[in-house]
């Protein structure tokens, strides 16, 4: 059975392994300290997952930014063998649902063309002249 839900702290190791497969992710995330931080984020309710039965197949960090009054998606990824099945889209739609509940926008700085295409098909708009420290463009969705 497929479920979109907040991650349990017990799923931090699976999330940690998934993040370790991302080539641009900081090496500090791949350490034991990184694993502990992921557990903390799970405890705070900042990690969402798509689970097939008991297996985490996709994950998203979703954080409330009080300054910009938006939900930020700093990382969203799907396990390699589960890509192209719509799981990232399910997480994006969950982020939009959460944003509607609290009356804010959703923002992300996609790192590749597949992510940009996903956000555009989910009606995120490119925000001109806003980039992150790595030069990735800001995309925003408003309810």
Q: What are 55-103's pLDDT values in tens digits?
A: 999 999 999 998 889 999 999 999 888 888 999 999 999 999 999 999 9
**Size of the chain in residues:** 143
Listing DSSP states for 16-85 in one string gives: HHHHHT-TTS-GGGGSHHHHHHHHHHHHTT-EEEEEETTEEEEEEE-EEETTTTEEEES-EEE-GGGTTS
Tokens of 76: 């969203």
pLDDT, one tens digit per residue, over 15-24 is 998 998 887 7
Specify the CATH number for the domain of residue 135. 3.40.630.30
Total number of domains in the chain? 1
Bridge-based pairing of strands 47-52 and 2-6 is antiparallel
Report whether 92 contacts 76 (CB < 8 A). Answer: yes
Query: 77: which strand partners?
Result: 59
pLDDT of residue 30: 77
Name the DSSP letter for residue 116: H
Check: pTM over 0.85? Answer yes or no. yes
Q: How far apart are the first and last CA of the chain?
A: 29
Mean pLDDT of the chain: 92
Tokens of 96: 């939009």
The tally of CA atoms less than 13 A away on the side-chain side of residue 10 is 2
Name the DSSP letter for residue 112: S
The parent domain of residue 104 ranges over 2-141
């Amino acid at each position: 059975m497929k479920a979109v839900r907040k991650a349990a702290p017990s799923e931090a190791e699976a999330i940690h392994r998934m993040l370790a497969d991302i080539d641009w992710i900081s090496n500090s995330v791949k350490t034991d300290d990184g694993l502990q931080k992921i557990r903390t984020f799970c405890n705070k309710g900042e990690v969402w997952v798509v689970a097939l039965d008991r297996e985490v197949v996709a994950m998203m960090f979703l954080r409330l930014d009080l300054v910009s009054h938006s939900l930020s998606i700093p990382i969203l990824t799907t396990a390699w063998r589960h890509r192209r099945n719509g799981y990232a889209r399910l997480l994006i739609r969950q982020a939009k649902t959460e944003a509607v509940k609290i009356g804010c926008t959703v923002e992300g700085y996609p790192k590749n063309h597949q992510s940009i295409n996903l956000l555009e098909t989910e009606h995120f708009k490119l925000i001109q002249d806003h980039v992150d420290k790595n030069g990735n463009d800001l995309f925003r969705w408003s309810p």
